[in-house]
């Protein structure tokens, strides 16, 4: 089974526990007003970075140095973390997949920026499409606007889509509903909202709207809650 914990409503994500492995995507704990835990409380085997922005790279370097977790991201970000002293990393790029011990991970398109915290070039932002060993397909959109090729991602048969709804920096609720229609996932978790007033959203109301129009279940998770697939 795969468990998805939301540690914050922001970058989610979550800690993902799948087949005995623990993954963290975009470990933004320090300075995150929505995070209930500290970076030294997590022990991931892998850290996945969708893009280079500070509120997504977050505590990646300190966690990876302490735990020896492998960092997975695009080739530019992986080169940057290596230069910061991270020993284990794996670079991929958009459209490319790789078979890890925890499953097959493909980098997907995302419409956003990706500059790193020190201004270094962070390549293209990405989302992640993870096929777990028990054949569940999990799509983490990352920070992105709506794009029509979500239809292609949806064609793979998505069990869970984790989508931003905060607006301003990413899709807002209206476009996120359109994204659900393109992706046709069985389950949806909204993220990247309520971290700051600028991206405040009513996720419960959004869930009602989505479930009215699309045959899927929306899970509005509070920090620390989890969903088991
Ligand atoms: Ni961003």
pLDDT in tens, 64-111: 999 999 999 999 999 999 999 999 999 999 999 999 999 999 999 999
pLDDT greater than 90 at residue 37: no
What pLDDT score was predicted for residue 38?
A: 86
Mean pLDDT is lowest, of 39-48, 121-130, 207-216, for 39-48
According to the model, what pLDDT value does residue 1 have? 63
Give yes or no for residue 7 having a pLDDT over 80: no
86 C-alpha to center of ligand 1: Å?
Answer: 22
11 contacts 25 by C-beta, under 8 angstroms: yes
State the sign of the Cα–Cα–Cα–Cα dihedral 74, 79, 81, 87. positive
pTM of the model: 0.94
Hey, what are 153's tokens? Answer: 């991602």
Question: Ligand 1 centroid vs 53 CA: distance in angstroms?
Answer: 5
How many angstroms separate the alpha carbon of residue 134 from the centre of ligand 1? 31
69 DSSP 8-state letter: P
- Average pLDDT score over residue span 123-128: 98
Integer CA distances (angstroms), 213 to 80, 141, 160, 207, in order:
43, 20, 17, 10
Cβ neighbours of residue 228 closer than 8 Å, sequence gap 6 or more: 1, 2, 3, 4
User: If you measure from the C-alpha of residue 105 to the centroid of ligand 1, how many angstroms do you get, rounded to a whole number?
Assistant: 21
Contact criterion met (CB below 8 Å) for 57 and 116: yes
Q: Is residue 10 scored above 70 in pLDDT?
A: no
Mean pLDDT of all residues belonging to the chain: 92
pLDDT greater than 70 at residue 14: no
* Ligand 1 center–CA 113 separation, angstroms: 6
Q: Give residue 12's pLDDT band: very low, low, confident or very high (50, 70, 90).
A: very low
Exposed/middle/buried for residue 198 (C-beta within 10 Å: 0-12, 13-18, 19+): exposed
pLDDT bracket for residue 2 (50, 70, 90): low
Query: What separation in Å is there between the alpha carbon of 143 and the centre of ligand 1?
Result: 5
CA of 57 to the centre of ligand 1 (A): 10
């Amino acid at each position: 089974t795969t468990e998805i914990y939301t540690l914050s409503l922001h970058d989610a994500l979550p800690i993902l526990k799948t087949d005995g492995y623990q993954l963290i995507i975009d470990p933004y704990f320090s300075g995150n007003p929505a995070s209930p835990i500290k970076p030294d409380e997590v022990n991931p085997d892998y850290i996945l970075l969708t893009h280079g922005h500070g509120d997504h790279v977050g505590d990646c370097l300190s966690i990876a140095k302490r735990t020896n977790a492998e960092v997975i991201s695009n080739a530019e970000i992986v080169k940057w973390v290596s230069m910061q002293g991270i020993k284990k990393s794996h670079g991929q790029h958009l459209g490319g997949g790789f078979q890890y011990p925890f499953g097959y991970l493909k980098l997907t398109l995302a419409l956003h920026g990706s500059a790193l915290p020190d201004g270094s070039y962070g390549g293209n932002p990405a989302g992640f499409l993870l096929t777990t060993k028990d054949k569940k397909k999990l799509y983490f959109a990352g920070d992105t606007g709506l794009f029509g090729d979500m239809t292609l991602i949806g064609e793979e048969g998505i069990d869970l889509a984790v989508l931003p709804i905060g607006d301003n920096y990413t899709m807002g609720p209206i476009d996120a509903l359109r994204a659900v229609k393109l992706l046709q996932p069985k389950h949806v978790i909204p993220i990247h909202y309520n971290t700051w007033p600028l991206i405040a959203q009513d996720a419960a109301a959004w869930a009602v709207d989505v479930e009215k129009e699309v045959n899927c279940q929306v899970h509005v998770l509070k920090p620390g809650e989890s969903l088991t697939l």
